[in-house]
Structure 1
Amino acid sequence: METRLWLVERTYDDKGLISLVYATTDGDAVRRIERAPIAVERSGGVTAAVDADPETLEPVDDDDLQERYAAEAARMVERHGPEETV
């Protein structure tokens, strides 16, 4: 069974790669994805949520980061549908 994750962070590095962090609604686990801008464009953009196998998730050990991710995930749930491009 897959777990729904919500976009909580998007950053750009000096090489132009887009780093996306999707988290569970409690902020306890994340999936990090790096994509080239052209790949994001070709795929139709970045969605508000993704589904992932729980075994592929990384734990979030920092309490402050967990809180921040949980708050951002809750905001995304309230404002966007899972398939919506953000």
Structure 2
Amino acid sequence: MDVEGIFLRVSKGFGRINYDTFLLALEEIAAKKRVSVDALFGRLAEADPLAATTKAQYVRHHDDKSTYTGVYKAGGPRNLAGAR
């Protein structure tokens, strides 16, 4: 399915959509899949948003603060532009 094409079409190339254009996209997807919009809404309502997520792995140099060096060892950079 050409979801990217549908998104570009309804967003008119701007890369953002609102609720109304989201509904237009769902109508196009339903037509392309040859199902009713109500059936598509039902499938979306039943979907588990966390079903396909991944869990981040432990990364020693990022997660273990004892391995930090330089300015990050002291807590990270600070913006001193406004301080006097």
What TM-score range do you get, normalising by the shorter chain?
A: under 0.3
> More helix by proportion, 1 or 2?
2
- Structure possessing the higher relative contact order (Cα contacts under 8 Å, 6 or more residues apart): 1
> More strand by proportion, 1 or 2?
1
TM-score w.r.t. the length of structure 1 is 0.26
TM-score w.r.t. the length of structure 2 is 0.26
Please tell me whether Structure 1 or Structure 2 has the larger radius of gyration of its CA atoms. 2
